[in-house]
Structure 1
Amino acid sequence: MSRVRSTGVRAALFTVPLVVAGVLGTAAAPAGATPHPAKSLTCRGQGVDPTALVRSKAETVIHAPLSTIWKLQTDVQSWPSWQPHVETVERLDHGPFRKGSVFRWTTPIPPNPATPATSLEITSTVKQLKRDSCVRWTGPAIGEGLRIDGVHVWNFTKVKGGVLVRTEETHTGDQVEADVPTATKILADGLEAWLNDLKAAAEARAGHRPR
């Protein structure tokens, strides 16, 4: 069974990735942070925040049809059924998931040096989308004593035996930028958890048995 590989700088404040993502910047990283990768994920030419200090990337191969993976990822109202850390999701528009779609969702976050334990409310807007290929969304995440502005990009590529799913996310905000290494580590853990949950759900639907 392929394992999620996570890369990026070290820092962000919650364990589930914000729904939001592209071109990595060249701003100097703070002490203890990993230099930004040279190339970033994009969707229709747009990527993550190039100035963000808090950023992470992750990828995995999912042994399931692309149509199954895409359906799970874009049917946002079903997220709580396969993502344990997503409490609620509400579509704020109607019809197919597309550019301009907006959804509001909530996820708990643990206590950390900057903020107490709280529930994060995230309002995400799809900015770019190419069916069965990529999606990019942005939006604020707000909790008690905490605001994060996020950008999140997803890429889906058919490979032998399955689909390579890659994701990249950036966060900005006073609280996360106060401790970039911690914030990035939490963001990285969240991206890995999301990919692992997506992989498990898609492969279960496809009848794939983990090796």
Structure 2
Amino acid sequence: MNAQRGFARGIGTAALGTVMLLSVQAPATAANSGPRQVCRGVTVDKTAPVISRASVLIKAPLAEVWRLHADIDNWEGWIPEITPAHKKTPGPLRPGSVFTWSPQNMNVESTIKTITPLRCTAWGAPVNGITGVHLWTFKQTSDGVLATTEESWAGPPVEADIPGNQTNLDQGLTDWAHRLKDTAESRSDHH
């Protein structure tokens, strides 16, 4: 897999997930939006002009998938295009935890809105006039871990180029999910 593929085009403010990719331009219709992912009552901005979702089935232990996802300080080991990434709030991730990261050489500061270990995280990432809400969910299935990432972008810069931003977010989420899958599966093969 080409590690640089979507990131060379840019992922905007946040983004990353994918075996299935759903792209929705708000307002979403019942026919194409599917049920929204939720983490302890938090979901993406359903009225945002750009919403994307990607899911991937990962054949690795849930604990390994979660460890890679939640270990922000070590994202550079498997997804260097969005680093440096650094957790500013000490201790385990929890509501209010702050982390910084650098998609497309932008300095983004995100705040965890909610988290359930081994199940889901949701964070907000306002940057350069864009309000992003990013959600990850993890579900153990008989075939592996279904990881789904969903994100919404709103704000004047998004509205200025909805198709371009939609493409960037779709590609970014797809790349992030595939990278999580590839890394988790390769690491679990070695254990």
Quickly name the TM-score band, shorter chain normalised.
0.7 to 0.9
Q: CA deviation at 1:36?
A: 5.7
Task: Provide the residue aligned with 1:180 in structure 2.
Answer: 162
Unaligned runs of 5+ in 2: 1-17
Report what 1:112 is aligned to: none
Shift of 1:28: 7.4
| Partner-residue secondary structure (3-state), 2:184 | helix
Q: Secondary structure at the match of 1:140?
A: coil
Matched residue count: 173
Alignment of 1:100-139 (within 5 A): 100-108=96-104, 119-139=105-125
Residue 70 of structure 2 aligns with which residue? 74
When Rg is computed on C-alpha atoms for both structures, the one with the higher figure is 1
Map Cα deviations across residues 74-117 of structure 1 (whole Å, 9 max, x no partner): 00011111003112012111011122110011121xxxxxxxxx
Which structure has the highest strand share of the two?
1
Counterpart in 2 of 1:111? none
SS for the counterpart of 1:135 is strand
| Residue in structure 2 matching 1:154, options 136, 144, 157 | 136
TM-score by length of 2: 0.84
Q: How has the CA–CA distance of structure 1 residues 93 and 8 changed in structure 2, closer, same or farther, with 3 Å as cutoff?
A: same
1:192–1:38: structure 2 CA closer, same or farther, 3 Å change rule? closer
Computed over aligned residues only, the root mean square deviation of the Cα atoms, in angstroms, reads: 2.0
**Match for 1:4: what amino acid?**
V
- TM-superposition CA deviations, 1:110-152 (whole Å, max 9, x none): xxxxxxxxx211111111111111111102133xxxx321001
Unaligned runs of 5+ in 1: 11-24, 109-118
Looking at secondary structure, tell me which structure has more helix per residue.
2
Q: What is aligned with 1:14?
A: none
Equivalent-residue separation in structure 1 for 2:20 and 2:49 (angstroms): 20
Q: CA deviation at 1:71?
A: 0.5
CA contact (8 A) 1:58 1:192 kept: yes
CA distance 1:155–1:28, shift in 2 (3 Å) = closer
Q: C-alpha distance in 2, partners of 1:199/1:106? A: 21
How do residues 1-211 of structure 1 correspond to structure 2 at under 5 angstroms? 4-9=19-24, 27=27, 37-108=33-104, 119-142=105-128, 147-207=129-189
The amino acid across from 1:6 in the alignment is L
Using the alignment, how far apart are the partners of 2:162 and 2:152 within structure 1? Answer: 11
Q: Which amino acid aligns with 2:43?
A: G
Question: 4+ runs of 1 displaced by more than 3 Å?
Answer: none
2:37 is paired with a residue whose SS is coil
Alpha-carbon spacing, 1:207–1:38, altered in 2? closer, same or farther (3 Å):
closer
Contact 1:9 1:181 in 2 (8 A): no
